[in-house]
Amino acid sequence: MANVIVTGGAGYIGAHACKALKAAGYTPVAFDNLSTGWRDAVRFGPLHEGDLLDRASIDAAFATYQPIAVMHFAALSLVGESMKDPGKYWRENVTGAANLADAAVAAGCLNFVFSSTCATYGDQDGVVLDEETEQLPINAYGSSKRAIEQLLADFEAAHGLRSVIFRYFNVAGCDPDAEVGEQHVPETHLIPLMLDAIAGKRDALTIFGTDYATPDGTCIRDYVHVSDLVDAHVKGLEWLKADKGSRVFCLGSGDGFSVREVVDASGTVTNRAVPVIEGQRRPGDAAALVSGSRRAAEELGWTPQRSDIATMIADAWRWHQSEPYER
């Protein structure tokens, strides 16, 4: 089976991508430094421990596995942290991506699937974000991802590196089989934080900001199930293999849910009360981000199967009641 290097393959989305690649007939090679990823999450192919800031470790992975493609998930992604320490995000995300692209070109591996973000659009309320929307990032995380998109365009012009770029925002849910799931230290994502509060693992869920210009005052986001997301990434790989050229796709349901709506849905799905504390806004958070995916539907044939809010919460709840990863 053909090998695909999956950076961040021991992390939340990367581990799900590895499962999807395995099911599609590939051998996923998880490239990860395990700083935030989990060895236990690498279940569908080999683990190559390396760091994107260490070019030699990237070259070693390419030499060992001779992949046909790269699927790039590894990145720092905390908006608040990126506001406080932007240099860290530019070093880790942009320099790491440049090293990876250089190594891919040197190895003759010219298919590159990149996990970008709707954070590149910034705060554009009332707009369904699509591939033609102007990118106006308002934090260093979004800026770093936007820079990588430009980097890939430059590498195509100079070296013929073809890329499929996916922009999406809030990924949720877990593998329906609960083989892999979502676990971060520290945890920052809404649904796992909420489920921890429901399960009594933390005192309460803090809602950051209740005075946004939204119907209930809390942030609105478009959620996509992680299994649907990685299905799109596999379709993106097939797009490149079919020599259809570089392309950008947005991934989302087109429906935004506020934090309060997600809290209410979680109470319904789990049949438990959600303890909530209202806190202040976080710097860099946009009021509303909703992503359209018409192009992905029309050109990739991508149709989300599990991206309704109740299914995402139910799948995440199943994982959160299982045994967690261990270092």
CA distance 315 to 325: 17
Bridge partners of residue 112, in order along the sequence:
70, 163
Query: In this structure, what token pair is assigned to residue 161?
Result: 């590196």
Give the list of residues 6+ apart from residue 157 with CB closer than 8 angstroms, or none.
none
Give the list of residues 6+ apart from residue 60 with CB closer than 8 angstroms, or none.
48, 50
Bridge partners of residue 289, in order along the sequence:
221
What's the pTM?
Answer: 0.94
Superfamily designation of domain 190-221+254-320: UDP-galactose 4-epimerase, domain 1 (3.90.25.10)
- Name the segment(s) of the chain with CATH classification 3.40.50.720: 3-172+222-250
- Name the segment(s) of the chain with CATH classification 3.90.25.10: 190-221+254-320
Residue 323 has pLDDT above 80, yes or no: no
- Using one digit for the tens of pLDDT, what is the confidence trace for 274-283? 999 999 998 7
Place of tokens 């199943």: 318
CA distance 56 to 136: 34
Whole-number pLDDT of residue 126 = 65
CA distance 146 to 154: 13
Give the list of residues 6+ apart from residue 186 with CB closer than 8 angstroms, or none.
none
CA distance 323 to 122: 37
Q: Find the range with the poorest average confidence among 50-64, 145-159, 311-325.
A: 311-325
Query: In this structure, what token pair is assigned to residue 154?
Result: 């430059």
Whole-number pLDDT of residue 327 = 60
- φ, ψ of residue 215 in degrees (nearest 5): -55, -35
- Using one digit for the tens of pLDDT, what is the confidence trace for 111-120? 999 999 988 9
Catalytic residues: 141
Residue 326 has pLDDT above 80, yes or no: no
Using DSSP bridges, classify how beta strands 256-258 and 27-32 pair: parallel, antiparallel or unpaired. Answer: unpaired
Instruction: Calculate the alpha carbon distances from 53 to 165, 213, 241 in Å.
Output: 22, 40, 28
Place of tokens 């395990």: 34
Count other Cβ atoms within 10 Å, centred on residue 280.
10
For domain 3-172+222-250, give the CATH number. Answer: 3.40.50.720
Band (208; pLDDT cuts 50, 70, 90): very high
Whole-number average pLDDT of the chain: 94
The residue among 306, 31, 5, 322 whose CA lies nearest residue 173 is 306
Q: Find the range with the poorest average confidence among 44-48, 249-253, 286-290.
A: 286-290
Residue 127 has pLDDT above 80, yes or no: no
Q: What angle do CA 80, 82, 84 make, to 5 degrees?
A: 75
The residue among 51, 4, 22, 14 whose CA lies nearest residue 183 is 14
